[in-house]
Amino acid sequence: MFKEYDQSKEYLIPPSIKEFLWETHEAVLLNDIIEQLDLSELYQSYNNQYWWTPAYNPKMLLKVIFYAYMTQTFSSRKIEKKLQSDLWYMYLSGKNTPNFRTINGFRKERLVNIWWIFNQVVKMLDKLGLVTFWTISIDGTKIYANASKSKNMTVDGIDDVIKGLLEEAERIDAEEDELYGENLDNRPKELSDPVLRKRRIKEMLDEMQEKKEFIEEEIKEKNDQWIKQKKINETDKDSRIMMMKKKDFANWYNVQIATENQFVLWTYVSSSANDVNELIPTLEKVKRFGKEIIKVRADKWYASTKNYKYLKDEWIDAYIPPPKKQSVNMTDYKYNKQEDTYKNKDWLEYRFKQYVWVQGSKRWRPKKWWKPKKWEYKAKNYMAITKAGKKKYLDVYEQRKDSYEEQKKKQNTEIWRKINRGRQWDVEVAFWNIKQNLWFTKFNLRGLKKVNIERNIISIAHNMRKMMLAT
């Protein structure tokens, strides 16, 4: 005996799609969460001047995109297919079937202010007691950009392309004159019309010239040799090429996140390879929630005098290990407090000369309009004259010395070890879940602005999925 199996069986009253789902299914829970969000800014981004072609409801598109990222589906074409064949997508979309262009356009154009939705999700986590903002973990990782490394070009390379395009235009004109002569009537329309004929070449020239100007403006303070070595990608000019963890060179973005209890409190994307300058901007964003931050933990790549001083001024307890190697080892110098001098191992005497401005770990000259910030301060500059009559200088960063020694003392305590272990299972697990469970290892959009949109989408999807498991 077998159970009844009849594909042609008809139902008098078609059941609702929700009847096929259970109450704790991810699609049902996601639907309930988004229904509680304030989407007024998203609705205001639409204008109703084309009332005869109504747009798809943005709430429906938002549910579909979040669920797609929660289920490892990032391609707009694949999402379109899911809407036609997947029961859970049909439930969220109400059986609407927008095409891939509508989905991709909504993702790139309408979610520019997605941070407003991200804030509401984090506040929801706060109300549920899942985050407290007391201990923040900060870390960064590199995500592949949607760009081929073969498309990286230098300024000289762009000049060669422009030169080749001009030569190609001259060659085409010469061939046309030889084939058709002065008789324009025998030529095809796209060749006889100079506007249509040269439009494509002009567009290509303008595009290459824009890329060249972008490089020169970005690095105008560098020397000419460095400019020649600087590369920009044709498909995504904001991405950078660097060696990844797999020991391969590729274009990437630096993704920064601040987490607590494995929930992402803030995230943004940078094209800078150095993490040390990303700590303060990240904390400034987290502070907008109006919560008190008690402790901040990060790895050694965030160690700098600027960061230590900022955390101290904000009354935040820092757990950031200092670098093992420092540019100047002050233990090699003997200080005379009465005369305010330093002597090195060769008994070369350094006498105080002047104060210099220091920002982070580099000396700099303030501009006329400059106003000092909390992490900018003066360092003492000492000068010595060798037997050969040459001048040598020594910059003493007293605040760096004090902050580094304070962190070294903390490292020997049991509290440090406990907090440092907590950082690893907090922020590292969040990255692991996004990369391994959600399969998000490469951006699908291009450009820093659009990449930040996609990064916020995947972070919201991560938070919602964890929220469903926690509640």
Is residue 172 in a domain?
Answer: yes
107 and 24 inside one domain: yes
| Pair 241, 198: CB distance under 8 Å | no
d(CA 9, CA 120): 46
pLDDT score at 327: 54
Is residue 242 in a domain?
Answer: no
d(CA 88, CA 109): 25
310 and 254 inside one domain: yes
25 and 107 inside one domain: yes
Rg (CA), the chain: 30
Q: DSSP E strands: which ranges in 298-339?
A: 317-319, 334-336
d(CA 442, CA 79): 17
d(CA 128, CA 267): 21
Choosing from 376, 398, 420, the residue where a domain stops is 398
d(CA 471, CA 462): 14
220 and 338 inside one domain: no
94 and 23 inside one domain: yes
178 and 105 inside one domain: no
Task: Walk along the chain (471 residues) in steps of 10 and give the mean pLDDT of each run.
Answer: 73 71 87 92 76 81 95 93 92 92 92 91 93 92 84 61 60 61 52 58 65 57 44 76 70 91 92 84 90 90 84 90 66 81 85 70 54 56 81 72 75 85 88 92 90 94 91 69
Question: Tokens 């050969």 label which residue?
Answer: 388
Domain span at residue 190?
149-233
Is residue 50 in a domain?
Answer: yes
Sign of the dihedral defined by the CA atoms of residues 173, 179, 184, 187, in that order:
negative
What would the two tokens of residue 337 be? 């407090």
Domain at 312, CATH number: 3.30.420.10
Choosing from 398, 425, 446, the residue where a domain stops is 398
362 and 306 inside one domain: no
297 and 446 inside one domain: yes
277 and 342 inside one domain: no
Is residue 469 in a domain?
Answer: no
Domain count along the chain: 4
Write the CB contacts of 184 (distance below 8 Å, at least 6 apart in sequence): 192
Q: How far is CA 6 from CA 9, 263, 307, in A?
A: 6, 47, 69
pLDDT score at 158: 55
pTM of the model: 0.73
135 and 103 inside one domain: no
